[in-house]
Amino acid sequence: MKFIDLFAGIGGFRFGMESAGHECVAFCEIDKFARASYKAIHNTEGEIELHDATGVTKKEIKAIGQVDVICAGFPCQAFSIAGHRRGFEDTRGTLFFEIARFAAILKPKYLFLENVKGLLNHDKGDTFETILSALDELGYDVGWQVLNSKDFGVPQNRERVYIVGHLRGTSGREVFPIIKTRSDKSIIQLGNIKKTESFGGNPQCGRVYSPAGLAPCLNTMQGGQREPKIFIDGKVRKLTPRECWRLQGFPDRAFDKAQEVNSNSQLYKQAGNSVTVNVIREIARYL
């Protein structure tokens, strides 16, 4: 199936979708550094390239043509009027609205979305209810499941909610629930190297972990001294950018290409912002 990679980042969705046999026809990413990595990693020749989703016109969206799937790991900023139960109208002013806007014009068979687990109970559940209401109004039946990256072959404890919307009146099978054997590994914390005040009060930043266990969830604060620390070969050190990319399921060949066009600071940030390729690949198999 053909898909558009919205809020594309470095292409975690794309890697997973392509490995399941799907084809990317357009991508949209506002961050110039992430875009540089994306274009270094993926063959985007002949594809439609978009930058700021909020500035994409209806004409430009229509020019994408027929697509079967919109993929998006959308940023989760607060919904200012969530809970008023006005469906599609309640999403205006948020980046989720851009997904809804693209969907209203392109009418793909599937919407494939990812967000933090906390989206489910944000604002006492009103935010997620608003999202479901908006998608229902657009004609999509929605299923979702919280999945942990550690159960998909990468040693990272990362829980995310994955959402699949299916356009009513089109054929298709249920995607969720996805049944996986749960990993029995856990995070093994060995101690702290400094007081948490040294890291802006974030307690995770000073913690040291054993490589025999899981890495904690990578976050978007990577780039300074905030990467997870491990004790290995008798020394404490932070994870390298390459190791962070591996924790998100990216092959080394992708990292090597991104490293040629970006600094370590950006590479850390990009890993923290990405979706986990392995989880996307598994879900994409069912589309």
Q: Of the candidates 231, 226, 268, which has an alpha carbon nearest to the alpha carbon of residue 247?
A: 268
**DSSP per-residue letters across 13-73:** HHHHHHHTT-EEEEEE---HHHHHHHHHHS--TTSEEE--GGG--HHHHHHT---SEEEE-
Q: How far apart are CA 205 and CA 210, in angstroms?
A: 14
In 94-223, the DSSP E strands lie at 110-116, 140-148, 159-167, 189-192, 207-209
3-state secondary structure of 244: helix
Cβ contacts of residue 233 below 8 Å, gap of 6+?
none
Active site residue 205: no
Per annotation, catalytic residue among 76, 205, 217, 244? 76
Of how many residues is the chain composed?
287
Q: Is 112 helix (H, G, I), strand (E, B) or coil?
A: strand
Contact 25, 15 (CB under 8 A): no
Give CA–CA dist 196/205, Å, rounded: 7
Q: Are 282 and 15 in contact (CB under 8 A)?
A: no
- Does 177 sit behind a cis peptide bond, omega within 30 degrees of 0 on the bond before it? yes
Tell me which residues are annotated as active site: 76
